[in-house]
Homo-oligomer: A and B are copies of this chain.
C-alpha cells in the first residue's frame, strides 16, 4: 500500500474508534481538524523511515504515523485560535474555531492529543516492548522542554533566537516522526532523529518562504501572517534569496544525513521530490533573476 493510503487509513481507523457515543459536535470538530488533510508530510516521513528500516511491524508504524499527524492537527487547531493566529481558514476550509466555535476548538485539540497516545498504545500489541521508548520519542516532539508546544510558547517570550524557535516549532515533530518510524521497526532512532531535524528546519524555512510568495488559494491558508503577527521568519530575517539558499543547504544536509539502510535511494528521491514541491526550482530562479 502507498504510504499516503496507509496514513489516511490509520487516521480514519483512529477516529472511527472513538466517534461512536461521542457528542456529535465534538466528533464533527475533530473530524474537521483531521480531514481533509494537508500533505501529511510528517506521517509519510515516519512511514518512509519505517520502510527504509524494514517495517517489520506495519501496524505499529501506522499507529506511530497516525499519532504524529493527530498531534500535528491538534497543534494547528490550537495555533489557529483567536488568542494566537486568529486564522479564518486552514487547509482550504474554515478553521475549527470558525466552523465550531472557540470552545469546541480547544476541546478538539485536547481530544486529538489524547487520541494520539491512545492510537499508539493500541498499535503496540505485537511489540509491547517498543511502546515506552516510542511514547517518549513522541512526547519529546510535542511537549516540554523542546517540542512543538514550546515553539508556540516562544512566541510569548520577549526575545527569541530564530533557530531555537524553528527547532521547537517544526524541527521537533519532524525529528519525532523519523525517530518514531525507526523505533516502530525496531531500529536505533538516534541517527534518524538527525535526519528529521535537518528536514524540519528545511520545512520551516520553506514555510516562511511560502508565507511571503505563495498563492493563498493554493496554500489553503492566508499569507503574510508572519510579518503581520511579528513572528520570527527566515524569509524576513535573511531576505527571500537568503532563505532560498538556506533551504537548499538544509535539504542537502538532510539527504547527506540518511543513515545506511536498505531503502536509502528511495528515501533520498522522496526528499528531493518533496523539496521541489515545497520550493519549486522555478521560484528560486525567478528570485535570483529579480535580485540580480
Residues of A within 8 A of B (CB): 18-27, 30, 74-75, 78, 81, 83-84, 101-104, 106-107, 109-111, 113-115, 117-118, 120-122, 124-125, 128-129, 131-132, 135-136, 139-140, 142-147, 149-150, 152-157
Contact = CB atoms under 8 A, between A and B. Distances in A.
A114 B143 CA distance: 6
Nearest to A157: B23
Nearest to A124: B132
A4 B20 CA distance: 37
Interface of A is mostly: helix
B121 A20 contact: no
A139 B114 contact: yes
A20 B145 contact: yes
Contact of A149 (B21, B102, B107, B147): B107
Contacts of A19: 144-145
A49 to B, nearest CB: 21
Contacts of A107: 78, 149, 152-153, 156
B156 A111 contact: no
Contacts of A106: 78, 81, 83-84, 106
Nearest to A106: B78
Contact of A125 (B20, B121, B132, B143): B132
Contact of A128 (B122, B131, B153): B131
Contacts of A146: 21-22
A15 to B, nearest CB: 9
Given A114-B147, A146-B21, A157-B24, A128 B125 contact: no
Given A110-B78, A156-B23, A129 B128 contact: yes
Contacts of A122: 132, 136
Contacts of A23: 150, 153-154, 156-157
A69 B20 CA distance: 27
B128 A132 contact: yes
A118 B147 CA distance: 12
8 contacts: A20-B145, A26-B156, A83-B102, A83-B103, A111-B150, A117-B117, A122-B136, A135-B135
